Amino acid sequence: MNNNVGLDKSGPIGVFDSGYGGLTILKQIRHAMPEYDFLYLGDNARTPYGTRSFQVVYEYTLECVKKLFDMGCHLVILACNTASAKALRTIQQVDLPRIDASRRVLGIIRPTVESIDALTKTRHVGLLATPGTVKSLSYPLEINKLFPDITVTAEACPIWVPLVESGESGSQGADFFVKRHVDSLLAKDNMIDTIILGCTHYPLLLPKIRKYVPENISILSQGEYVAKSLRNYMYRHPEMDACCTKNGKCSYFTTESAETFLPNASLFLNERIQAQSISL
């Protein structure tokens, strides 16, 4: 049972991902908003989400959001495209009004989509993402709502998250799978001039992705756009800003053991951190 909801007036901003990927977003957010407190939760015990059904991703995500609320967060960022694509809308429309209408959950697809207009000249955009995100059609739908003239071509990369989660993103073996999906995407549409990395794990594969993507094609990593958009959200929502504590602290939680989480988390963050294991 939730003991904190409605009682505490302020707390850290919750950042959630199925595993390590959200750390790439958190890093950029902390850079843009160093004064805020953050609480990161990675559901490493149940990752990957990208190959799971809508219902399962929704249930897992909701559980984690509730946990972050229990831990004192008033605002939670789903730093996971798969969760943003499959769970965000139901949580915002159905669950939040029941749980606590004053709390907020935001996703990362919208800020990414908003930035695409300025980047593409050919109006042909490629998307590399998990099978779940691709199947949800969230990116083409959101992009075409704002920019109907943009053609979006997607490629699902089911093996990329497991490669990253198992610390293989720099290995020679990873080249094979990176090249395969990049080639497949570009073969579907040779007018693509911008590729969205629509999974928060993929920035870890960026050196390899860059190797196989022609230089004239831009690659969009979400972190800086999400960070800019969150900063802007805080200006526009002073009532939520007042609910966020500002001591520049960040704590890390995982549903796996802390010993398992830490080595890979350091890889994502380039710094040593402390982490605690929690059960949901």
Q: Given the rule CB under 6 A, which of 11-19, 147-155, 212-220, 225-233 is the region that contacts ligand DGL?
A: 11-19
Structure tokens at 137: 């059609």
Structure tokens at 35: 């004064």
Given the residues 64, 73, 157, 199, select the one marked as catalytic.
199
Which member of 50, 107, 126, 203 binds ligand DGL (CB under 6 A)? 50
**Using rule CB under 6 A, residue 115 touches ligand DGL:** no
DSSP the chain: --SSTTT-S-BPEEEEESSSTHHHHHHHHHHH-TTS-EEEEE-TTT---TTS-HHHHHHHHHHHHHHHHHTT-SEEEE--HHHHHHTHHHIIIIIHHHH-TT-EEE-SHHHHHHHHTTT-SSSEEEEEE-HHHHHHTHHHHHHHHH-TT-EEEEEE-TTHHHHHHTT-TTSHHHHHHHHHHHHHHHHH-TT--EEEE-STTGGGGHHHHHHHS-TTSEEE-SHHHHHHHHHHHHHH-HHHHTTB--S--EEEEESS-HHHHHHHHHHHHTS---EEE---
**Using rule CB under 6 A, residue 254 touches ligand DGL:** no
At closest approach, how far in Å is the CB of 232 from ligand DGL? 21
Nearer to ligand DGL among residue 69 and residue 202 (C-beta): 202
Using Cβ positions, the residue closest to ligand DGL within the complex turns out to be 50
Number of amino acids touching ligand DGL (CB under 6 A): 17
Which member of 161, 213, 226, 265 binds ligand DGL (CB under 6 A)? 161
Nearer to ligand DGL among residue 115 and residue 130 (C-beta): 130
Nearer to ligand DGL among residue 11 and residue 198 (C-beta): 198
At closest approach, how far in Å is the CB of 269 from ligand DGL? 15
- Residue 107 φ then ψ, to 5°: -105, -175
Query: Residues 193 to 212: which contact ligand DGL by CB under 6 A?
Result: 199-201
Nearer to ligand DGL among residue 56 and residue 258 (C-beta): 56
The answer to whether 243 is a known catalytic residue is no
The answer to whether 64 is a known catalytic residue is no
**Using rule CB under 6 A, residue 136 touches ligand DGL:** no
**Using rule CB under 6 A, residue 229 touches ligand DGL:** no
Active site residues: 80, 199
Q: Which residues bind ligand DGL (CB under 6 A)?
A: 17-19, 21, 47-50, 80-82, 130, 133, 161, 199-201
